[in-house]
Amino acid sequence: MKELIIKKSNFEEEVINSDSPVLVDFWADWCGPCKMLSPVLSEIAEENDTFKIGKVNVDSDHVLAQKYVITNIPCLVLFKDGKEVDRLVGFHSKEEIIEFVNK
């Protein structure tokens, strides 16, 4: 699956109403760990078909960042059945992220 660009305008459709789990990466251009995490998430997105990965830029979509109380980035928020079930903050390895989603 390809990574999705998530904005306020498509959040409900792509995340809340999704039939599959969605891992949302809250990130920013100026964030070093976010830049390190990006290729890891791209690789996971290409290799998996059980969950979607979306990206929310906290600078350009601060409404979503505020709604989900994103205080540190990168912040990976896992949604299942339209609800937040867990979150992971900071840089993590591919294996850690896959384990996080599958638990």
Residue 5, beta-bridge partner list: 55
Long-range contacts of 30-39 (CB under 8 A, 24+ apart): 30/59, 31/73, 31/74, 33/73, 33/74, 33/90, 33/91, 34/73, 34/74, 36/91, 37/74, 37/91, 37/92
Q: Which of 6, 34, 44, 97 is catalytic?
A: 34
75 catalytic, yes or no? no
34 catalytic, yes or no? yes
Q: Which of 31, 58, 64, 65 is catalytic?
A: 31
DSSP, collapsed to helix, strand or coil, labels residue 79 as strand
Q: Residue 13 and residue 8: Cα distance in Å, rounded?
A: 10
Catalytic positions: 31, 34
